[in-house]
Amino acid sequence: MIAPTRFLAALLALTSYVSASLNPIEVKEQEFVDSKTGDRFVLLGVAYQPGGQSAVSAGSGDPLSDSKACLRDAALMQSLGVNTIRVYNVDPTANHDECVSIFDSVGIYIIIDVNSPLYGQYLNRAAPASSYTIGYLQHIFSVVDAFMNYPNVLGFFSGNEIINAESNGESCPPYIRAVQRDLKQYIAKNAPRTIPVGYSAADVSSVFDQWAYLQCNIAGDNDISRSDFFGLNDYEWCGDASSYTISGYNVLIENFGSTTIPVFFSEYGCIVPLPRYFDEVTTLYGPQMRVMSGGLVYQWSGAPTDYDLVSVNSNGSANLLPDYDTLSSKFNMLSVSELTSQNSSATSLTPPTCNANLITTSGFSTDFNVPDQPSGASSLISNGVSGANKGSLVSVSATSVPYPVYQTNGAALSSLTIQTGATAANYPGAVKNFASASGGSGSSGSSGSSGSSSSSHGAAGAAATPFVKGAGAVAAAALGVVALL
């Protein structure tokens, strides 16, 4: 029994949060839309895993549990025009209320990967059956519990690059659908709203089969194991000599043009050469690629540092990197009204029924029998994970960034703050917490070529770089061939 006065206080507190929070995003066939305004939602995102994707240990917190760092990064992202972050590894026992509320208050949505690299917390691509256990489900369900009450959680990734070679295209796909079924059942039973569940794919030869396999509807399964969205990690546009066709983006659009679920880049941003030009931005968000729902630049900060937009020091101070300025100038060229207007003919599409004929890569799974749940799963779904940590929004009172931040020209940003109270997604140009240092026009790419490593431009850079991502595409581009997937 709650005493009336306490009840009233709780109600007042609740209404004040609700009035200043983001509207949940929902899936309408091939588009994301704001559930209240109906505006289309296109991701202008960054991958957010300070410390690196694999820097995680039990009980040590995660990127959404350090509110001072979140405040600094939210202020910089708000100015950039970011509206989505992706967090790869979370600790479901940590308190995320302040960070998630900070991002909510500046118009930023969050996609959470439910897996982690810790033992028992991921589907092992080499042994999917034996890693699909009740303990694994307990972990991913507790991640749902931790985030399901936040209105700005855009979705959950059931997996990232589980299929990363032809050899695991046979055994893994049914398990990805199994995990999606389990997450969607858990959300339907335990969460206050429908939260989309999708997959983040590696850029391998079977990518269109992965999409076809995951978006189709299994007769009688009532959409429960289908992906609600499809992310592709794509590093095919490299340097200022690439284009819509050299990058192979045209091939993506030929195939994804008929998609019945939102498709976006769950990572993008080839780093050969550095600093980047980000010329792909205006194409990705332009008329040719309107079927796509945007993408997430890899990455904000952390290891491997070559991909960073911002360099964060151990004392919490941060330096904006040239890539931040270049991305900002490209984002500022986009037409927000075009991005947010719906394509009405794209919202009445029926997914194909799953069928072996949808699959073209030999050896890729044509098995649409979703594996049975491990014993104990149905009671876990009905009863919820016992003792789970469940977050909820809190009011954001601290708005001043407590760390020094330096621009690319060395100037310190004084009195950097966030502007709270967002009720819709952040977009470029909406809020400027500071004037960008170089603020280049972007169209010439001049800010991208003035850095320290201009000598690595082109194919020589590809050969010299130790990074796998994008190197193949540059080699292909150098040979004058279209970078086919």
Ligand X SMILES: *[C@@H]1O[C@H](CO)[C@@H](O)[C@H](O)[C@H]1NC(C)=O
Q: Which of 346, 388, 431, 475 binds ligand X (CB under 6 A)?
A: 346
Minimum CB distance to ligand X, residue 258 (Å): 7
267 has catalytic annotation = yes
> Which residue's CB is nearer to ligand X, number 253 or number 388?
253
Q: Which of 124, 131, 282, 317 binds ligand X (CB under 6 A)?
A: 317
CA distance linking residue 282 with residue 278, whole number of Å: 8
CA distance linking residue 405 with residue 417, whole number of Å: 11
> Which residue's CB is nearer to ligand X, number 291 or number 333?
291
Cβ–Cβ < 8 Å for 96, 146: yes
Q: Which stretch binds ligand X (CB under 6 A): 119-127, 230-238, 313-321, 368-376?
A: 313-321
Cβ–Cβ < 8 Å for 427, 82: no
Q: Which stretch binds ligand X (CB under 6 A): 137-145, 204-212, 310-318, 461-469?
A: 310-318
Cis before 215 (ω within 30): no
Is residue 345 a contact point for ligand X (CB under 6 A)? yes
Q: Which of 161, 166, 170, 338 is catalytic?
A: 161
CA distance linking residue 130 with residue 323, whole number of Å: 42
> Which residue's CB is nearer to ligand X, number 343 or number 378?
343
Is residue 290 a contact point for ligand X (CB under 6 A)? yes
> Which residue's CB is nearer to ligand X, number 82 or number 405?
405
Q: Which of 26, 236, 267, 280 is catalytic?
A: 267
Minimum CB distance to ligand X, residue 315 (Å): 4
How many CB atoms are closer than 10 A to CB 1?
Answer: 5
Q: Which stretch binds ligand X (CB under 6 A): 35-43, 67-75, 82-90, 312-320?
A: 312-320
Minimum CB distance to ligand X, residue 338 (Å): 9
> Which residue's CB is nearer to ligand X, number 31 or number 62?
31
Q: Which of 54, 205, 343, 395 binds ligand X (CB under 6 A)?
A: 343
Site string for ligand X, 10-39 (x = CB under 6 A): --------------------x---------
Minimum CB distance to ligand X, residue 149 (Å): 34
**Residue 448 CB partners (closer than 8 Å, separation 6+):** 240, 275, 276, 277, 278, 322, 326
254 has catalytic annotation = no
Minimum CB distance to ligand X, residue 404 (Å): 6
> Which residue's CB is nearer to ligand X, number 130 or number 315?
315
Q: Which residues pair with 160 in a beta bridge?
A: 200
Q: Which of 305, 313, 355, 450 binds ligand X (CB under 6 A)?
A: 313
Minimum CB distance to ligand X, residue 347 (Å): 8
Nearest to 23 by CA among 37, 13, 44: 37
Q: Which of 315, 337, 357, 386 binds ligand X (CB under 6 A)?
A: 315
- Residue positions annotated with a catalytic role: 161, 267
Instruction: List residues binding ligand X (CB under 6 A).
Output: 30, 290-291, 313, 315, 317, 343, 345-346, 404
